[in-house]
A and B are shown apart, each in its own frame.
Chain A
Amino acid sequence: MFDFIIKYFSFLKHIPLLPHIFDALIRLQTFVFNKKVLEHIDVIERTVLSWEKTSAGMHQYGGLQFNVNNREIGHIHSNGLVDVLLKKEIKEQLMKEGRVEDHHIFKRSGWVSLHLRTEQDKQLALELLEYSYLLKR
């Protein structure tokens, strides 16, 4: 459902508040069908905010965004899709290892995507966010 809407209706993301409402509906769905994902997001939020000079806010296209020195570290959509900006060579290496996916929209960038499904996914998301944090600190 998320992929279908992103693929065919992503042009609607520029309408003010619409992506946030879409994200809220996804959060409602995740709450009903996959509450564990919201628990993983909470743990990641607490951990990232414990790092020096980090802050959190709403991502412009819906989701929870983490920043350091007003630069984005990464963000999490409410279905548990984590997007992190890495160096391209790191991205290529991680993709070769099959640990992350190409970003769901920006294919030719350093952005990677990762679905939060298991405890291991959560650990990997934290590692990637920490890597991005150290780059931008």
Chain B
Amino acid sequence: MKTQKIVPALIIANVFALIIIGITKWISLYSSDAAGIFVFSDFVIVPMLMGMITAYSWRDFDLTGLEYAKYSIWNAFIAIACAYFFLDEGYICLIIVSPLLAGFVIAGAFLGKAMFRNNGNRMNVSIFSLLLLITIADSITAAPYENEVSDTMIINAPPEKVWPYVVAYEPIKEKEEYWLFRVGMPSPVQSTAEAYCEGAGRKCIFSNGYTFDEKMTVFKPAEDLTFDIVNQPRDPEIMGHIDILRGQFILKDNGDGTTTLTGNSWYRLYVMPSWYFDAWASSVTRNVHLRVMEHIKKLSEKNV
């Protein structure tokens, strides 16, 4: 009996979410800056509205707070499954987004519970409409977010010994330590270079076989290797979410036989809110840097 009352609300909330996300995507196609962006509202306001829809449907049932939380988590879980099947999202992305989604669905459900308990229908309609309006406005005004991540490491070898491994290195065989790599996120494996000069192509190969095609734009031996990414891999975990724009290795001679190696990466995020997704993006980028730089350190120090 209870299931008959719970399930329709979950279905309505998820159909509503798919429609709104479809509309925001469609709107964003007409804005050159925002094309294809998952806006702030898709992960914040839409989940809250989903929670409010269920709270409205359940307002006359005697559900406890624990049940509200439990069914809201189900609501978020169904939304994640829908994203997997209908939006073709990768499972790593869904792991990343799930706490955000569940949190906002629960927030919406409890806000809705309080709103509909007070029976202020006019105010409830206003809040609901306002949130919808913000969603539409958000999808019109959205813009991608760019950031840079920088990491530094001391290598016990002079820059001339380090440099060859910065340009290209043999496959990394060490076990992954970063938890996202261990659950299946592709990790960097190897870099290859077509030639050792400016303008030459370089490839960064990841553990799932996907490759970033790069072009070396600055090639100063033992000092600076900068490369632009000219072709992003067609990985569902990356496509439409993040573009890696540029990478750089700076080598600084410390004058005592050691080198300070700095790895920089620039990326553009297409998923909002940036305060949430940038924390993940910078964490992943940092761990890509560290895996590569640790490998370069090991190879360089072996030959000293």
Chain A residues with a Cβ under 8 A of chain B: 17, 20-21, 23-25, 27-28, 31, 35, 38-39, 41-42, 45-46, 55-58, 64
Contact = CB atoms under 8 A, between A and B. Distances in A.
Interface of B: 64-66, 69-70, 73, 99, 102-104, 106-107, 110-111, 114, 117-118
B65 A64 contact: yes
B interface majority secondary structure: helix
B118 to A, nearest CB: 7
A58 B114 contact: yes
A56 B117 contact: yes
A24 B118 contact: no
Contacts of A25: 99, 103, 106-107
Nearest to B111: A20
Nearest to B108: A24
Given A27-B110, A31-B73, A64-B65, A57 B118 contact: yes
Contact of B110 (A20, A39, A55): A20
A64 B109 CA distance: 13
B66 A38 contact: yes
A79 B114 CA distance: 18
A84 B218 CA distance: 65
A42 B104 contact: no
Contacts of B111: 17, 20, 58
Contacts of B107: 17, 20-21, 23-25
A42 B111 CA distance: 16
B106 A28 contact: yes
Contacts of A57: 114, 117-118
